[in-house]
Amino acid sequence: MRKFFSGEKWSYMFYTISHPMDGYYWIRHAERGSVPLAVLMVVLFSVCFTANRLLASFVVNDINPRAVDILYELAGVLAFYLLLCVSNWCITCLMNGEGRMKDITVAVGYGTVPITLVLILSTVISQFIADDEQAFYTLLLVVGIAYGVIMILIGIMQVHNYTLGKTLITLFLTFVALLIIVFLILLLTNLLGMVYNFFRSIYTEIIFRT
């Protein structure tokens, strides 16, 4: 456990945020990243996202607090994270990507850190702004999210040793793969449900006849 969350891993994560090109390169080639730390960052991102929805001031917040459920959102974010990593791994395996599964999880996980930071910052700032200053709040969020997305893009590019064009193509294919996986899961659960219902109806039939 010490190994995964050591000070060296933490400080290297922040180095990666400020130097994504170099940082991600050595994550792939010198084991400088940490998968548990990346997962922790995704969990933190989810928590901060929910916190922003609940705690941002009334002026900027038009979200029904009753519609916010932290566990539900955490499950959703983690499921999406898992799906994204798996489908990206599937596609890049076929497209000469050099990255391993753990490099992909680290690349995406570290990429959420700037978004998390900006969510915290903007939630605090929102307490002090009136309506026509809402633009600052939005700008801050947009800049943070854009930085995070660019980081994820660079991360995937570096761990697979791709060019930018190839990264974009694989990302598009990743989303296609993601949809296929979701479709297959739905199909599977549906069919399993039918099988279950079949045996269940046999069971009820027998129960009623005896």
Partner 1 sequence: MINQKLVRKIAKSAAAFLLAVVTGVTAIPQEAQASSLPYQPYNYNYWEDIVFTPAAYEPRKIVSGLDFTFEGEPIGAFVTPQDLCKSPTGDVYIADTGNNRIVVVDSTMTEVRRIITTFDNNGAEDGFKQPTGVAVSQSNQLYVADSQNRRVVVLNEDGTLARFVENPQSEVLEDGYQFVPLKVSVDYADRVYCIAQNMFEGIMVFETNGEFTGFFGTINVEISLWEKFWRKLATKEERAKSQLFIPTEFTGIDIDPDGFVYASNIDPNGEQGVRRLNPKGQDVIKKGVNENVGGDLWIDGNTDYSGPSQFTDVVYRDSGIYSCLDKKRGRVFTYDHEGNLLYIFGGLGTQTGTFRLPVAIENIDSDLIVLDATSGNVTFFNETEYGRLINRAVALRYDGDEAQAVELWERVLDLDENNELANTGIGKAYLTAGDYEKAMYYLELGMARDYYSVAYRRYRNNFLTANANVLLSILFVIIIAWVVWRRIKKKKGIVLFKKKGRKGGSPNA
Q: Which stretch binds partner 1 (CB under 8 A): 61-69, 139-147, 182-190, 193-201?
A: 61-69
| CA distance readout (Å), 178 to 31, 42, 46, 185 | 27, 19, 20, 11
- HEC profile for 46-71? HHHHHHHHHHCCCCCCCCCHHHCCHH
205 binds partner 1 (CB under 8 A): no
62 binds partner 1 (CB under 8 A): yes
Buried b (16+ CB within 10 A) or exposed e, 112-139: bbbbbbbbebbbebbeebeeeeeeebee
Decide: 148 and 20 in contact? Cβ < 8 Å.
no
Q: Which of 8, 69, 98, 205 binds partner 1 (CB under 8 A)?
A: 8
Looking at the Cβ atoms of 48 and 159, the one nearer to partner 1 is: 159
Rounded CA separation 108/155 (Å): 7
12 binds partner 1 (CB under 8 A): yes
Site for partner 1 in 26-55 (CB under 8 A): 26-27, 30, 32
Looking at the Cβ atoms of 27 and 104, the one nearer to partner 1 is: 27
To partner 1, the closest distance from the beta carbon of 23 in angstroms equals 5
Residues interacting with partner 1, by CB under 8 A? 7-8, 11-12, 15-16, 19, 22-23, 25-27, 30, 32, 58-59, 62, 64, 66, 128, 130-132
